[in-house]
Amino acid sequence: MSPNIFRPLTVPGDDEIREILVKRVDQQKQAVGIVVGVIVPDGRRVVAYGNLAKGDPRTLDGDTILEIGSITKIFTSLLLADMVSRKEVALDDPAAKYLPRCQDP
């Protein structure tokens, strides 16, 4: 594995994120609206663009309740990457290493 795989990411600014959202919603038609939450060491930010649903005039913001879909795999992989970078686990460790031992009845 490349040693540079865990280098810190540069987080885009709100204007750059908004440009990406506009492109995905208005040009690529991938969604009718998107909300992005960004957590950085100096705080949290929310950038939103678009509407709640097609034909719905309500705009999105940080308080909009949305279905998150199948994103838990992304969170799990990010946590794993962080644990590997902290040397808490290794990618080639068997899962059984971190599970409690089964005891016979």
User: Torsion angle of alpha carbons 27, 38, 80, 65, nearest 10°?
Assistant: -70
Task: Establish if 97 belongs to a structural domain.
Answer: no
In a domain, 95, yes or no: no
Output the pLDDT for position 93.
94
Q: Does residue 51 sit within a domain?
A: yes
28 occurs within a structural domain: yes
In a domain, 85, yes or no: yes
- The model's pLDDT over 31-80, given as tens digits with 9 standing for 90+, comes to 999 999 999 888 999 999 999 999 999 999 999 988 777 788 888 899 99
Is residue 82 one of the residues assigned to a domain? Answer: yes
87: left (phi over 0), alpha (psi -120 to 50) or beta: left
Residue 79, helix vs strand vs coil = helix
User: Which pLDDT score, from 0 to 100, does residue 66 have?
Assistant: 83
- Look up the domain containing 44 and give its range: 3-90
Tell whether pTM > 0.75. no
**How many distinct structural domains can be found in the chain?**
1
Q: Is residue 105 part of a domain?
A: no
